[in-house]
A and B are shown apart, each in its own frame.
Chain A
Amino acid sequence: QSVLTQPPSVSGAPGQRVTISCTGSSSNIGAHFDVHWYRQLPGTAPKLLIYGNTNRPAGVPDRFSGSKSGTSASLAITGLQAEDEADYYCQSYDSRLSGSYVFGTGTKVTVL
């Protein structure tokens, strides 16, 4: 099963900006399929954070933003807060094997 590659961890002080990259290939992100992002707080289920590359579901603060270019996507968190400490996963669709969903390797965000 193909995966999307993320950095294992990123960190920042409260109030700072951090970004998480998500690198795919020509069969998923590079094939113009959308990228979605999920946040998983410790011991809980993932929750949709960004959909369709740049869109925030209702209730998600505008401190979170997404972008996509070529075979990669990024999630930015500005004004980092203690409650942002969590695991973040990107997800897209892959056209190989008659189509499948693929998740990123996950990034742990630590607030210093």
Chain B
Amino acid sequence: QVQLVQSGAEVKKPGASVKVSCKASGYTFTRYPMHWVRQAPGQRLEWMGWINTGNGITKYSQTFQGRVTFTRDMPASTAYMELTNLTSEDTAVYYCARGRGLELPLDNWGQGTLVTVSS
């Protein structure tokens, strides 16, 4: 079965960077795009962007453009999300989610990674 397992919780200081991993199993990693979505405490889901896991092409939400980078390690079937210049407003749970293609739904989600930004 499809599984997305994310790395553990992180605590960072303002101005630092964080890198979250998402290891996929149960399907061919490079055939499906990987999206990243975040959810601040008590808030709605917020789409961050996606990466074509086959060719590495990325699409970032304008909200995060310039501060976020998606990468992937194909042999390891792992996607990564790095967010820089963190502020307290970046405190949130970050999810990876498998896409089915452009405009199509996110059909499997990781368990989430809590990133806390605090001085």
Contact = CB atoms under 8 A, between A and B. Distances in A.
Interface of A: 1, 3, 33-34, 36, 38, 44-48, 51-52, 57, 89, 91, 93, 97-106
Interface residues of B, number: 24
Contact of B102 (A51, A89, A99): A99
A103 B40 CA distance: 14
A57 B103 contact: no
24 contacts: A1-B47, A1-B63, A34-B104, A34-B105, A36-B106, A38-B45, A38-B106, A45-B109, A45-B110, A46-B97, A46-B106, A48-B106, A48-B108, A57-B107, A89-B45, A91-B105, A91-B106, A97-B62, A98-B59, A100-B61, A101-B35, A105-B44, A106-B44, A106-B45
Contact of B44 (A3, A51, A99): A3
Contacts of A97: 62
Contacts of B103: 33-34, 93
B47 A101 contact: yes
Nearest to A57: B107
Nearest to A49: B105
Contacts of A3: 44
Contacts of B35: 101
B46 interface: yes
Interface in B64-98: 95, 97
Nearest to B44: A106
Given A45-B95, A46-B95, A99 B59 contact: yes
Nearest to B65: A97
B63 to A, nearest CB: 5
